[in-house]
Copies of this chain bind each other. A is one copy, B any other.
C-alpha cells in the first residue's frame, strides 16, 4: 500500500520577508517521516485571504492530510480561520466550548477576556478542536485540514495532539552514504543502482566542504536489508571515499 501523503501550508509574511526562518516545516517534515506519511508539498503564502483559500483548496484536494501553521491569533492580520471556513464554504462564529476554555484561562491568569481574545474562539462550523496545552487558544480540524498556531512550541504541541489520529504508513527507512567525489562521478553508478532497486528511492545531495566536492546519497525504502544491500553496492564503487 502506498504511504499516505500530506501537504503543509505556512501562512507567514514574516517568512516571506526574510525576517524569520521557518522552523515548523522542518519539525513537521521529521514527524511525518517517522509516521510513514510522505510530505509531498509545502506552500508559504502571505496573510492574504484569497491566497490562503486557493492554496488550501488545491492542497486538500491533492493530499490525504493538510497542516496549516500561523494566523490564528487575536490580531487583525490573523485571518486563517475565516479563510479556511470560506475555502470549505461553511459559516464561522464564536463557539461555546472554545469560548469557555479561553474564558477559564483568562480568569485563572487574571487577564481581561477582551474582544480580541474572543476572536480566538471563532471556529468554522463542523470543525473539531485541537488541544493547545500551552496558551489554550485551540487549533481545529476541518475535513482533512489541521489548522494550527505558528508559534513553534504551540505548533509542536498541536502536532503531538493530531499525529495519533492519523493513519500512518509503513515507516520509511533511510540510510545516508557520504561520498567524497563530485556528483558527476557518482551519477552513472547511482542511476544503474536506481534501475536495479526499483523499490528504493535514491537522492543525491551535493555539497562543497573546504573547497572539495562531495554528495550525500540518501537511500529510502521500507526494507532495511534491501537498503543495506544497495548502500554496500554503491560504496564498492568508491573505495576509500565513503563514510
Contact = CB atoms under 8 A, between A and B. Distances in A.
Contact of A135 (B14, B185, B208): B208
Given A44-B41, A204-B73, A184 B117 contact: yes
Interface string A213-225: 1010010100000
Contacts of A201: 13
A69 to B, nearest CB: 13
Given A40-B45, A206-B73, A187 B17 contact: no
A76 interface: yes
A125 interface: no
When all copies of this chain in the complex are counted, the total is 2
In this complex, the interface size class of chain A, counting residues with CB under 8 Å from chain B, is 35 or more
Given A18-B26, A76-B190, A77-B202, 19 more contacts: A15-B42, A16-B38, A17-B29, A17-B172, A18-B27, A25-B44, A41-B51, A43-B44, A75-B186, A75-B187, A75-B190, A75-B191, A75-B204, A77-B203, A77-B204, A112-B185, A114-B185, A116-B185, A116-B187
Interface of A: 13-22, 25-33, 38-48, 51, 73-78, 111-112, 114-117, 119-120, 134-135, 150-151, 153-154, 172, 174, 176, 182-188, 190-191, 194, 201-208, 213, 215, 218, 220
